[in-house]
Amino acid sequence: MRKSLGVYLAKAETFTRQMMDVSVTTISIMRSSIRARHRRCGWRSRGWIE
């Protein structure tokens, strides 16, 4: 019982770490894409993106 619980906890830890990594990369990609859009459109994009 104890062994399976330890394996489950280890799997949960790695899963949460992977999810955090994925969310961080997604946020950075979104930020970079928004920045690129701002650069392309110039001052006009300010009215669309707050």
Phi, psi of 39 (to 5 degrees): -65, -40
Residue 1 has pLDDT above 70, yes or no: no
pLDDT given at position 50: 45
Mean pLDDT of the chain: 80
- For the chain, give every domain's residue range: 2-41
Quickly state the pLDDT bin for 3 (edges 50, 70, 90): confident
- Encode pLDDT of 18-39 as tens digits: 999 999 999 999 998 877 776 6
pTM as predicted: 0.48
For 49, phi then psi, to 5°, come to: -105, 120
Percent of the chain whose predicted confidence (pLDDT) is above 70 = 70
Residue 40: both structure tokens together:
């392309």
